[in-house]
Structure 1
């Protein structure tokens, strides 16, 4: 599989309002090429709004967002996105759902089918190519959504609480899968989550956002080896620091 060229994401003094309500206030952040950044915050802090702006799904804001030096003005095949709800077409098979993302790609049908097969394999779903969404578990459907987000070989993959609707065991398995995929693909990934452990387990950095209006409260470097050990005292100490920032008591992870 050909390596993907990954580029920096630059967010400069971005603010966003809905009517008169401020949602984001003066957000500035540089995400390095190939970095995995977790954006952490409680509901209502604007983290999903920020992801939509990076994706180009909403362009009504002040400030500037650039990917590979180019200003984001619209959606692009260079920025894939995965939502909490897998949003698969129920009338299409797993492979057909991934293929649908290549509709505008400048590839022959053979090349598209090869890309679909590669990405079905990448997410560990060989043998389920012809299964329909109702025949897949929630975790398997989310794997299809991740394959669909990656199949255009984007520079950046944006993940909006992709595991939020899954049970704890499935969530943990898919966290490991996502880490494996990131290490294999080496593209820039931005994960939005309200789960402190998930943010810390996956991110090179954890960007904590404060709400009303959304603003960056803290950026924590996670200088821990991968795969992360949740029992590592350094991991536990950093998790407790992040939890303390939300005024939450320590909770034991399964």
Structure 2
């Protein structure tokens, strides 16, 4: 949560005990396309603990973005339950920030104004909002670009602004749908490091969808590997046991091979990046 907003909202609140931030039980999602039924997800059971960084990995079309949209409240499940902090998810919420593959900045607003749009309904005053916006622009490394227009930003800078907008309201959960997929390799690697740094500071519960194995390994505290459609959870890898996030490390290489083998066992190679 934003330190500025946290102090303004409830300076005297006791620390909350550890909890499950997101939960899915028996979730199934179907779509109807040209009169035919398509089962995107079936039997999804998943808990995401408060403060975790969970990456959902799988090839295009396996339902991982659909699962993210269900947690965001942008889609409704055909069966099963979806909970946020123990409460049913019935629609979008300010407490679940969302970052898409494209920055989706408003072209008629500056960087600072774009970030501030997430605070339009925040129950705090203008000065607190201004400080929160400045804090998060600094957090993503855009100090000095507050008054820049979106067309004046590089792709990576625009995505930084989108991340700041997703975090500025102090959401319980940040949901990210392949946020670096449209960027070149160098910019993507730089922003992966920045996102990891931001998460280590903020400890916002994060759920990130990717088809890039290395990205999942570099960022996640757990990796959820999905099977081809209909999407199921094939395996969950726990990365909290002293993993060195270095391509040259033998342990990293072994785990990478194991994740790839899980994808291969599900005939899920197509559309999965190994770089």
> TM-score, normalization: structure 1?
0.94
4+ residue stretches of structure 1 with deviation over 3 A? Answer: 2-7, 223-227
Please list every run of 5 or more consecutive structure 1 residues that lacks an aligned counterpart in the other structure: none
Query: Counterparts in 2 of 1:97-246, with a 5 A limit?
Result: 97-223=114-240, 225=242, 228-246=245-263
2:26 is matched with which residue?
Answer: 13
Task: Report the Cα distance in structure 1 between the residues aligned to 2:180 and 2:5, rounded to whole angstroms.
Answer: 26
Helix, strand or coil for the counterpart of 1:214?
coil
Alignment size in residue pairs: 252
**CA contact under 8 A between 1:156 and 1:189: conserved in structure 2?**
yes
1:54 is matched with which residue?
Answer: 71
Task: Report the Cα distance in structure 2 between the residues aligned to 1:43 and 1:218, rounded to whole angstroms.
Answer: 17
Shift, 1:67, TM fit: 1.2
Shift, 1:131, TM fit: 0.6
**CA contact under 8 A between 1:224 and 1:235: conserved in structure 2?**
no
Please list every run of 5 or more consecutive structure 2 residues that lacks an aligned counterpart in the other structure: 7-15
Q: 1:132 to 1:225 in 2, by over 3 A?
A: farther
Q: 1:88 to 1:227 in 2, by over 3 A?
A: farther
> TM-score, normalization: structure 2?
0.87
Task: Report the Cα distance in structure 2 between the residues aligned to 1:135 and 1:128, rounded to whole angstroms.
Answer: 9
